[in-house]
Amino acid sequence: MNLASPFSISVVAITALAFLGLPIGHSMIAGSILYLLLAGLDMGTAAEQLLNAMYNNYIILAVPLFILAAELMNIGSMTERLLRFCDAVVGRFRGGLAYVNVVQSIIFAGMSGSAIADAAGTGKMMQMMMTKDGKYTPSYAAALTAATAVIGPIIPPSIPMVIYALVSDASIGYLFLGGVIPGLLMAAAQMGIVAYQARRNNFPVEAPTPLRELPGITWRAFPSLMMPVVLLGGIYSGVTTPTEAAAVAAAYALVISVVLYRSVSFADFYQSVLASARTSASIGMLIAGALVFNYVVTVENIPESIKAILTSWDLSPTGFLILVNILLLLLGCVLEGTTILLVIVPVLIPTARALGIDMVHFGVMVVVNIMLGLVTPPYGLLLFIMTRIAEVPLKDIVRDVLPFLWAMIASLALITFFPELVLWLPRLLGYQG
C-alpha cells in the first residue's frame, strides 16, 4: 500500500486524532472527510452516507431501546428480587455466592443485551454480598462479576449481535438463537472454575433458604423472570420484529418497576432516560463514524483485496476461523468491541462467505470473541468498571480473572470447531443456512 495514498493518510489521521483524545466516531468521520478531499471526491458524500445509513436502518433503533430497558430494570427493585431468587436456588452450595454471581448473569443476559449494563446493574450489589464479613476477597468478587458479565451479550438479546446484523445482513432472530448454547456453555465453564476454586480455597457455605420460602421468593421474582419470555417469545412467534421487541422490553420493564413493584420515582425515570440517551448517543456516533469510514473502505476495494490475499494463502474454512479468532483476540486487547464490529469485521465477511462459512455461526463466534476483550488487559472495559466499583488495584482483578478468561477461551474454541453448538437451535426453528 502506498504510504502517501489518500487512504493511508486517512488511516494515520484517524489514529492520530484518537490518540489525541477525540472520540473514535468523530475521528473516523474526520478521517473519511480528509480522504474524500485528498481523493478529489465530493466531501458532501460523507454526510450523505451518514444520513442514509442511520435513517434507513430500522435495525439500529433496537440499540437505544435495549439500553433503555436495561436502565429501567436496574433502577427498580427487579435486580434485588432476581438476586434473592438466585441465592435461594444455588446459594446453598459451597461457594454459593460465587454460583449466584454466575446464575444472575445468565438471567440478566436475557434482559439487557449489554455486558456493561449487567456489570453496572448488579456489580455493586454482588460486590457487597460477596465481601461482607470477609467471605471473598474484593478482587476475586470483582473479577468474577466482570467475567460473568461477558455472558450478557451472548445469550439473547444482544446489542453486539444487532450491530453484527447491521454489517452482515444476517438474521437477528437466528443470531439470538445461536447465542443461547454458547452462552450457557460459557456459564458452565465459569461454574466449573468456581467449583474447583471452592474446594481448593474452602469457600464458605451460605445458610440455605428453607424450601417453604422458595415459592414466595419465586413468585416475587416471577414478573422479572418473565421478561426474557416476553421479549424472545415476541420475536420467535413472529408477533414482533427484534426492534419492536426491544421497545416491548423497555415498556415491560417500566410497567413492572412503576406499576407492580412501585419502586421507581419520576426522578429515577428521568435519570434512566438521560443515561440511556447519553449511552445511545455515544454508540450512535460510533456507528455513524464507522458507516462513513466503511464507505471509504468500499471505495478503496479493501474487502476484495483482503479476500484475494487470504484466498492466495489457500486457507481452509477452519484455518480462516482460527486466524480470525487470533486477530480479534489481539485487537480486543487494545480496541473497543463496537469499533471492531463496525470496522474490522465487515472486511472479513466477504472472505468468510467465499469459504462457505455460515454467517450466523461466524457472527456468534465473532461476538463471543469480542466480548472476551472486555476482560482482557490492558483495555478490558469491564475490568476498569469493577476497579472503580470494588476500589481495588487493576493488577489484583487481572490476576483473579485469568482462570475464567482461559475457561472462556476454551469455550470459544469449542464454538469455533463445532458449528452445531451455534446452529442447532436456529435449525430447530427453521434456519436453512
Place 399 in a pLDDT band, splitting at 50, 70 and 90: very high
pLDDT value of position 87: 78
Q: Which amino acid is present at 129?
A: M
* pLDDT bucket at 3, cuts 50 / 70 / 90: low
Query: Using an 8 Å Cβ cutoff, are 369 and 328 in contact?
Result: yes
3-state SS, residue 94: strand
The cell for 305 is 483485496
Helix (H) or strand (E) holding 395: helix 394-417
Q: Buried (b) or exposed (e) across 291-330, using 16+ Cβ within 10 A?
A: bbbbbbbebbebbeeebeebeeeeeebeebbeebbeebbe
| The most confident of 69-83, 89-103, 413-427, by mean pLDDT | 413-427
Mean pLDDT for the stretch of residues 199-216: 82
Please report the pLDDT score of residue 121 as a whole number: 66
- Which region among 70-79, 144-153, 200-209, 424-433 has the lowest average model confidence (pLDDT)? 70-79
If pLDDT is split at 50, 70 and 90, which confidence band does 259 have?
A: confident
**pLDDT more than 90, % of the chain:** 24
pLDDT for 308-334, tens place per residue?
A: 777 778 788 999 999 999 999 988 887
The confidence band for 265, taking pLDDT boundaries of 50, 70 and 90, is confident
Contact by Cβ (8 Å): 105, 118 = yes
| Higher per-residue confidence, 422 vs 40 | 422
Alpha helices in 256-393 (DSSP H): 266-299, 302-312, 317-332, 337-339, 345-354, 359-372, 381-390
**pLDDT(80) > 80:** no
Q: How confident is the model at residue 400 (pLDDT cuts 50, 70, 90)?
A: very high
**How far apart (Å, rounded) are the C-alpha atoms in residues 391 and 388?**
5
51-72 average pLDDT score: 77
**Residue 189 Cα distances to 150, 186, 409, angstroms:** 13, 5, 10
Q: Return the exposure string of 127-138: e unless at least 16 CB atoms fall within 10 Å of the residue's CB, then b.
A: bebbbeeebbbb
Q: Which residue has the higher pLDDT, 78 or 176?
A: 176
The pTM assigned to this predicted structure is 0.83
Q: Residue holding cell 436456588?
A: 89
Average of per-residue pLDDT values in the chain: 84
Q: What local confidence, expressed as pLDDT, does residue 115 receive? A: 78
